[in-house]
Amino acid sequence: MEITKKALLVTTVSGFIPQFEMNNVRLLQKMGYEVHYASNYHTPSYGTDNHRLDGTGIIRHQIDFVRSPFKVKNITVYRQLRDLMRKEHFDLVHCHTPMGGVMARLAAHATHTAPVIYTAHGFHFFKGASLINWLCYYPMEWFLSRYTDQQICINQEDYERAKGSFHAANVDYVSGVGIDHKKIPARNELLIQKKKQNLGFPSDKLILLSSGELIKRKNHETVIRAISEIKKRHQDNPDVSVDMLYVICGHGKLNDYLKKLVQELHVEDIVTFLGYREDMMDIYQTADIFVFPSYQEGLPMSLLEAMANGLPVICSDIRGSRDLMGCPLSETGDLEICQGGIMVKKADHGEAYCEAIQYLFDNKTTLRKLGEANALRSRDFSIEVVSKMMERVYGRMGDKH
């Protein structure tokens, strides 16, 4: 198909598109767009380089993005984006990430580039967010919504707020970025045992798995401290089992701090770090429970991947995770039993994580049923469902142009 149109994707860090948005790239290319990507390629995320963009047909543009809205360098970023838009005459701009969304919409407004789509992968202002987040980010988003032709939200809380309080011409809920169930391996016990051996996992222990950047927002520390408490309880009461291994996948600036914490708490025999992995679908298969204690999410992809692989979940009761966990079934203390697992009402409540882990450890039948329910529920967030939603959005924006 002859390419007659140009679309610009914008994110702050360069790993975002290959990690989450390649299906949208393929949709745009199928619709006849030449896809360009503006990002800071010196700060890749979800990996250590940009090799996953090779062979995609995406045209790259270096923009010196910084994550903080308070840096003077944002003036340079604005000028770079403005000059790029003036040069390339894009027919559509789709921006992601907070600062990518801010700077791209300002530059598009200045250059009369339209239409502009902004996907909020979780507003920084939400129920329970700090006052400073509300004071800083809410007014900014309220103002920039006037420069937004299409607002996309990926959880219900953000959608209701954008629909009711902001000024985007169109506001749509899209159920995340979509999970490709074709990439979920069929369960094969022989291959699973081989993978466990390769990773050094014991075959006779319950495997708890977390996946995410090693940063404060992901809150790995709370679960590590919970594991330490379970070990102490076992020392006082041998009936409390510690026949488990807690596996953390990811990298980030807290890598050294968390490893030191594990040593200080004397749980090296229970907690292990695998770093950033590109074989997560196989690693999910080795696990028995997925633990996701994050403080803040939009619609967490790693949690959805775990569900699709048939894992029961222990997670914090936050926006996004709440969308995935389904209806609450019962409540006990600081825990809420849901269709997909157990939600902990306070993300930093280590005692509650102890209780949740022990509950699932002691109820193997419940463990299995929750996993089976999650595999089915994940179909509501499949790439097929999301693709249909995005085709409508891109089609509407193309008609406007």
What angle is formed at CA 18 by the lines to CA 16 and CA 21, rounded to 5 degrees? 75
CA distance 25 to 57: 9
216 within 8 A of 223, measured Cβ to Cβ: no
Per-residue pLDDT at 1: 47
Give Cα 353 to chain centroid, integer Å.
Answer: 21
CA dist 357 and 342 (Å) reads 9
Distance, in Å, from the CA atom of 140 to the CA atom of 143, rounded to the nearest integer, reads 5
Amino acid 347: pLDDT: 77
- What integer pLDDT is reported at residue 326 of this predicted model? 83
Whole-number Cα distances in Å, 276 to 280, 293, 390: 9, 18, 29
**Spatial contact of 8 and 88, defined as CB atoms under 8 Å apart:** yes
Determine the pLDDT at residue 354. Answer: 92
- pLDDT at res. 332: 80
344 HSE (CA, 13 A, CB side): 26
Q: Do 324 and 284 meet the contact criterion of CB atoms below 8 Å apart?
A: no
- Cis geometry, peptide bond prior to residue 115 (ω within 30 degrees of 0): yes
For residues 255 and 269, what is the distance between their CA atoms, to the nearest angstrom?
18
Q: Are strands 244-249 and 313-316 parallel, antiparallel or unpaired?
A: unpaired
| Helices 364-377 and 301-308, axial angle in degrees (round to 10) | 110
CA separation for the pair 232, 247 (Å, rounded)? 19
Between β-strands 335-338 and 341-344, what pairing exists: parallel, antiparallel or unpaired? Answer: antiparallel
Per-residue model confidence as pLDDT tens for the chain (401 residues): 455 799 999 999 999 999 999 999 999 999 999 999 999 999 888 878 899 999 999 999 999 999 888 899 999 999 999 999 999 999 999 999 999 999 999 999 999 999 999 999 999 999 888 999 999 999 999 999 999 999 999 999 999 999 999 999 999 999 999 999 999 988 899 999 999 999 999 988 999 999 999 999 999 999 999 999 999 888 877 766 678 999 999 999 999 999 999 999 999 999 999 999 989 999 999 999 999 999 999 999 999 999 999 999 999 999 999 999 987 778 888 899 888 899 998 877 788 999 999 888 888 888 889 999 999 999 999 999 999 999 999 999 977 65
Q: What pLDDT shows up at residue 401?
A: 59
Structural domains of the chain, with CATH: 5-178+383-400 (3.40.50.2000), 181-381 (3.40.50.2000)
